[in-house]
Structure 1
């Protein structure tokens, strides 16, 4: 399908997952369409082939669906209050009309009696008005022998009218219409977090182009345009600051509550708020490629990914519905055939079984929780890329952390520089900085910064034959001498004799202080020892304590640092295990063995050099997703801000979601089982059956929506 024309549309009006499935099938049958995929959670449909909005709305006419292209902005009503009032009347016209005729029928029942023509016509009108869309789909499904909830309801209502139960038939239709409206409302409520993300970025911006300032719609803004952002305004596009400085509130993207200082050459994102300064920003991305657009797209795609519990419900419903039809048929015929009981009584009981067996609450129980949780997470700066990862995060009992940039700030500094023997410190520092400037190792930046602070000129120094020695250090040739910078293992190989014992003691002392010791020298001897330390994040110890409080049994730090340095930092933070001196492939292998031991393990890293370990873990969690595309692509969960405190919130939200999903499934099945038991004494009625279904739907949706209230500081 990759080579075919693809178009994505937003859909308004889905009342249930079953209706979304019906719409998908109808669209697939349209002329020119080769395939279609409905994302019920995000209320979208992806169409492969050629079609248009009119054809799609025609396919969705059974549900009065409204369709629009994905990126088409909705025009805001000029009179919001009036529009909301009209919208309410229009949306609920069938329910209101059905209710009025039902009330008139009940009044006629009291005055004229049950068999009166006026009474029957009133109830029949109530059923037709409230259930015309139900019957339209139900009859179609019945002819195709497709049995879903609408088929069950249609058969039940037809049966009720045949045996003269007009009153209960009308009540069933009205309550089913209300139930569908509840499902529609609950899913809209669950999607509101994503809708709020869509609305935060302005639809136009002030642009300076060809020396002139003009207001331009975001769709028409070009890359390299300069956007002018005044204090108190939101940024409409992603870009790089080319003029001015200010503090930017990035809460909409990263969930950070504290504004971030931005100056020239810093990246800024659409949807963030310029709090105080005047900024000129060079636009770097089209509107559909901005960070907020990418986050929204990923979140909506995540909602289409079925969680294990949702997949279970779908499989269960596939067999559940035919089973209910079979049970209802047996209830209707066995007592009259075997015991000579009344046909009317037991046909009525069979119809009640059909109604109570309607799987509305069961079908909605999982999606409403998944969509709500993923939306809430996105609003708080955490991107969960699917229901499966949401559930797996809730089952974690062990979490592994990369050290650098995750538990530490990732900005190392030189703490000690000790020369050995008769060495010119400035000249040696020049050689060291020239070597390190060619290295990609994280510690190189600390050495370069040290040289810059000492005002040592190293950028023009000619360094020949530079090479990196994996896991050990670097080397390069300066004035016919090969210099080495690295760990003890490197110099054990380079020196004719082993590293002197007094240097061993020096290195061990530094490592016990949580520092990384680098040796500098040639094949003839060691000339200096450099100690570099990476500061621990202020939040790391608190996060580890909170994770242990949430029931995470083991927390482990994985690092390439030597054992002494790693152990010192591990003790400071409070992790349960430390694994040090690891090569990248060692981290991967350790994650695999850790997974075999604990079953489920998360890996938290920066999403770049930890990509293999992230991929091998049960749940890969990347730090600072807003700063790197790699993090968004490789991780299952991305903490959009560079804030580790989002991790306990994510675990807590996942566990709440898992609990609510289990509660919803158990309750929706339990209430039906309880209602079915009423068949034995013959107490089950149609209105009790539909009331049980409506009640269950209302309770599971309300329970799922509670996930919107989960906050980071709970």
Structure 2
């Protein structure tokens, strides 16, 4: 959990220091300015002097040297103002970072700390950490669910916005999974707990996002390396400004020592150091609030520079559940579908469930006798004294040309076709397919608008089905009949061609390809441990519609980071140029430093305004 500094600790010393500063102006006493410096600058001096002792020259070291120097040359008043302004900038910076992290605090508030549990036949109100796997929670309408679990009694609508970012409530009933931090809106539920409090989905999200926000992105690592060399250079420049004019040009020592101190202040890399982290923290927090878990600043930056995205088919571009798309009845027998479903109920074929579901509204009173499954062909059985067959062309002795043409037509659409018949004739056709998600084509179009040059479908399915899915979704390239190792090989090939490549999959059978891609993006991170562990980015709601939002957020983050770094360096250079005519003062220096710091912070906070409009609801 992110600690929040108490109000009094953050603002008391600043307020007291301000009072001494005002008193110093009223009574014109240097002792009052000295008190303002000591009280307001204590945290700064504590760090700055320690760093100076270790020869670790950072922005606090520079400020400490500048303020001590101002006191030595008698500029108590300006030294006090510099301390106050620096303290104000630190407080505002802390407030901005708090605001950027608010999304995580909001997630924390969603997770209840206690729940009503049935244990040994008694109802007990227990703290979340005392609830065990296997306990039964009682959740009333309007209550938050405290633990991950499975519904064992009751139905309701559940608002999962805290987990998936999807504000539209979903129906949940017996045997459905529910998550801690979600809201039970309608019915009374009994839920069997399946995870301990530290293992719940929301706990993992909070932990992963906090880790991600703390991780340094490549641009931040660059800034840190730059600051490491930049700071000693600024100290050297300040020494030269203070010493060279008096020694070689007869200028006044006090005037040019003052200028040297101003160089130290204006040279503080505050804005440069804060330019990247505030943007990264804000973007990752905004993503989490919208159901996109980004596991680090490096992945956020990489996603913003993607040139190509590869997609798995099943469960990614498609819904992952086979359905009957076409039922062609060549007879007048209205019971044919029911007969076929009765036969399929005896089958272990993966598509049988789709046919049974299609016929669920029909009477279920058929008795199947002498059932036989023929490997590679289909099934047979006797229903009401007649032998029926359901399978592929190989199961039948003779199939009319017109029927074969219809089968080919359906197969070209990426559908698996089964023929139903008896020992005398062909009775009908059943076409089954894994339906394309309604949003897939819009998502692909939006990605192309955002500048993704190549979209690729990688699937283990046959080429005809893959081509049909590609036509329906609009992807640029198709690679079919791939084994997991083939997908891995192809991802490496794409990286060689495009540099940065993302792989979007379900996080299970696509794990090798997800790991090899520049950015691995998993579908359905909510409740899927594999997705949370394997992927670099997880779309918590099992829907592609968040992918364009993720790319847009990443690109906006890269843009703002570049703006912040440029602003920081340009403003520093402009302020340093004031040294040439001798116009640089401590006041101007601290205003320039604080002003740019606030500017880059506010610019980073603009990432909170990037909305999930890409969901295209």
When normalised by structure 2's length, the TM-score is: 0.88
| CA distance, structure 2, for counterparts of residue 282 and residue 583 of structure 1 | 38
RMSD of the TM alignment (CA)? 3.4
Structural mapping, 1:30-41, within 5 Å: none
Distance 1:457 1:208, change over 3 A: farther
Partner of 1:71: none
| CA distance, structure 1, for counterparts of residue 367 and residue 272 of structure 2 | 71
Partner of 2:542: 642
Of 13, 24, 28 in structure 2, the residue corresponding to residue 94 of structure 1 is: 13
Structural mapping, 1:324-363, within 5 Å: 324-363=234-273
Is the CA contact 2:158–2:182 (under 8 Å) kept in the aligned structure 1?
A: yes
Partner of 2:65: 155
* 1:206 and 2:106 are equivalent in the alignment: no
Of 577, 582, 585 in structure 2, the residue corresponding to residue 677 of structure 1 is: 577
Is the CA contact 1:356–1:672 (under 8 Å) kept in the aligned structure 2?
A: yes
State the shift of 1:505 in Å. 5.0
| CA distance, structure 2, for counterparts of residue 460 and residue 154 of structure 1 | 92
Distance 1:518 1:326, change over 3 A: farther
| CA distance, structure 2, for counterparts of residue 515 and residue 360 of structure 1 | 60
* Structure 2 runs not aligned, ≥5 long: 331-335, 382-388
Distance 1:416 1:132, change over 3 A: closer
Of 299, 304, 307 in structure 2, the residue corresponding to residue 394 of structure 1 is: 304
Segment drifting more, 191-200 vs 321-330:
321-330
| CA distance, structure 1, for counterparts of residue 54 and residue 550 of structure 2 | 45
| CA distance, structure 2, for counterparts of residue 425 and residue 99 of structure 1 | 84
Is the CA contact 2:371–2:379 (under 8 Å) kept in the aligned structure 1?
A: no
Is the CA contact 2:145–2:180 (under 8 Å) kept in the aligned structure 1?
A: yes
Partner of 1:651: 551
Partner of 1:116: none
Q: CA-to-partner distance for each residue in 1:612-645, whole Å, 9 max, x for gaps?
A: 2211211111111113111111111111111211
Q: Secondary structure at the match of 2:115?
A: strand
Is the CA contact 2:82–2:590 (under 8 Å) kept in the aligned structure 1?
A: yes
Q: CA-to-partner distance for each residue in 1:322-347, whole Å, 9 max, x for gaps?
A: 11111111222222222222222221
Q: CA-to-partner distance for each residue in 1:629-672, whole Å, 9 max, x for gaps?
A: 11111111111111211111111111111111111111112111
Q: Secondary structure at the match of 1:396?
A: coil
Partner of 1:106: 25
* 1:577 and 2:487 are equivalent in the alignment: no
Partner of 1:318: 228
| CA distance, structure 2, for counterparts of residue 362 and residue 156 of structure 1 | 19
Q: Secondary structure at the match of 2:37?
A: helix
Number of paired residues?
595
Q: Which has the higher contact order (CA 8 A, sep 6+)?
A: 2
Segment drifting more, 548-557 vs 696-705:
548-557
Partner of 1:446: 354
* 1:531 and 2:441 are equivalent in the alignment: no
State the shift of 1:249 in Å. 0.6
Partner of 1:140: 50
Q: CA-to-partner distance for each residue in 1:393-417, whole Å, 9 max, x for gaps?
A: 1112322211221111111124468
Partner of 1:289: 199
Of 435, 451, 454 in structure 2, the residue corresponding to residue 551 of structure 1 is: 451
Distance 1:105 1:574, change over 3 A: same
Distance 1:553 1:324, change over 3 A: same
Q: Secondary structure at the match of 2:151?
A: strand
Structural mapping, 1:73-92, within 5 Å: 88-92=7-11
Of 616, 632, 637 in structure 1, the residue corresponding to residue 516 of structure 2 is: 616
State the shift of 1:95 in Å. 1.3
Partner of 1:381: 291
* Structure 1 runs not aligned, ≥5 long: 1-8, 14-86, 110-118, 467-472
Distance 1:96 1:415, change over 3 A: closer
Partner of 1:115: none
Segment drifting more, 694-703 vs 590-599:
590-599
Q: CA-to-partner distance for each residue in 1:128-172, whole Å, 9 max, x for gaps?
A: 111122222222222222222221111111111111111111111
Partner of 2:333: none
Partner of 1:666: 566
Structural mapping, 1:13-32, within 5 Å: 13=5
Is the CA contact 1:516–1:561 (under 8 Å) kept in the aligned structure 2?
A: no
Q: Secondary structure at the match of 1:535?
A: strand
Distance 1:559 1:127, change over 3 A: same
Q: CA-to-partner distance for each residue in 1:27-75, whole Å, 9 max, x for gaps?
A: xxxxxxxxxxxxxxxxxxxxxxxxxxxxxxxxxxxxxxxxxxxxxxxxx
Of 137, 140, 146 in structure 2, the residue corresponding to residue 227 of structure 1 is: 137
State the shift of 1:321 in Å. 1.1
State the shift of 1:419 in Å. 12
Q: CA-to-partner distance for each residue in 1:573-592, whole Å, 9 max, x for gaps?
A: 22222333333333222222
| CA distance, structure 2, for counterparts of residue 653 and residue 405 of structure 1 | 24
Distance 1:511 1:713, change over 3 A: same
| CA distance, structure 1, for counterparts of residue 401 and residue 488 of structure 2 | 34
| CA distance, structure 1, for counterparts of residue 370 and residue 92 of structure 2 | 71
| CA distance, structure 1, for counterparts of residue 401 and residue 295 of structure 2 | 52
Partner of 1:17: none
Q: CA-to-partner distance for each residue in 1:248-283, whole Å, 9 max, x for gaps?
A: 011110111211111111111111111111111111
Q: Secondary structure at the match of 1:411?
A: strand
Distance 1:388 1:476, change over 3 A: farther
Q: Secondary structure at the match of 2:432?
A: strand
